[in-house]
Structure 1
Amino acid sequence: MNYLIYISTATHSLNDDELKEILIKSQENNLRDGLTGMLLYGEETFVQLLEGEADVLNRTYGRIKNDKRHKHLSKLDEGSNDQRLFPDWSMGYKILSSHDMPAIKGYVDSNGTKEWDKREHHPVLAFLKSFAEINDL
């Protein structure tokens, strides 16, 4: 199973209705396209893990790149796992508090570039999985 993780900055602070709209549309698209994953949002920052077929992931990432709600989009990692990490989530999500953000931002510098070498157990992937478990997502 292929996965892709990205981080981006919202072009403006999103209100609850805008976040709900993004979530509903993402869930619809992901169900249609066979994608699963998790979306985190806080302090105008998106972090998303998507998993599915490589061509579908690439098309979806292309759509996100053209979405005017995102700027400073950076692909953190992509690769494959033996199985889905979030098999039951067309799009799990969590709105992050200011207490959660240092752990996320610690993985990327201010330009959104990588601070680590690629390896099988990517630190952002591990963070997202543990975040989901801790928060019962």
Structure 2
Amino acid sequence: MEYIVYVSTAKRLLSEKELIDLLKVSRARNKKYNVTGMLLYCQGTFMQVLEGDKNSLELIYKTIELDQRHKNIIKLAEGILKKRNFPEWSMAFASVNSETLQEIEGFLSSSINHTTDSADHITVTMLKTFADSNRLYISF
């Protein structure tokens, strides 16, 4: 089991409908390849963690690199996982100032703790830092 963490910049701010559409497509693709993870979005910046086998991650990451909705893709970290940090999520998602997305399965709120006991893993630490610095109200 491996992981990738990256950040990127949206070419333009995405509407809630565009984010929902992106999320639906990502979840279907991730489920097909047995990839889990979390996507955070704030004011045009994405941070994503992907977890899965090496071949699946490489395929999905190449697709992400070719996606025309964003630019400046920077891989922050990659490595080996003993177990998934997001085992139940084909793609958890959070966006600041987005009441509509709270109705979608996988949206995070401060009253729900979703991750496993891997709270000290680098992927969780990176997501926490991104969420804190962007005032995303989620809990890990």
TM-score (norm 1): 0.75
Contact kept, 8 Å, 1:36 with 1:91, in 2: the verdict is yes
Residue number in structure 2 paired with 1:135? 138
Residue number in structure 1 paired with 2:15? 15
Residue number in structure 1 paired with 2:116? none
Structure 1 stretches of 4+ moved >6 Å: none
Contact kept, 8 Å, 1:40 with 1:94, in 2: the verdict is yes
Residue number in structure 1 paired with 2:108? none
Provide the rounded CA distance (Å) in 1 between the counterparts of 2:121 and 2:89: 21
Q: CA deviation at 1:128?
A: 2.2
Code of the residue aligned with 2:71 in structure 1: it is K
Provide the rounded CA distance (Å) in 2 between the counterparts of 1:60 and 1:96: 25
Provide the rounded CA distance (Å) in 1 between the counterparts of 2:127 and 2:42: 14
Q: Number of aligned pairs?
A: 112
The 3 A distance-change label for structure 1 pair 53 and 129 is farther
Structure 2 segments unaligned to the other structure (5+ residues): 98-119, 132-136
Contact kept, 8 Å, 1:85 with 1:129, in 2: the verdict is no
Percent identity over the alignment is 39
Q: CA RMSD in A?
A: 2.1
Code of the residue aligned with 1:83 in structure 2: it is K
TM-score (norm 2): 0.73
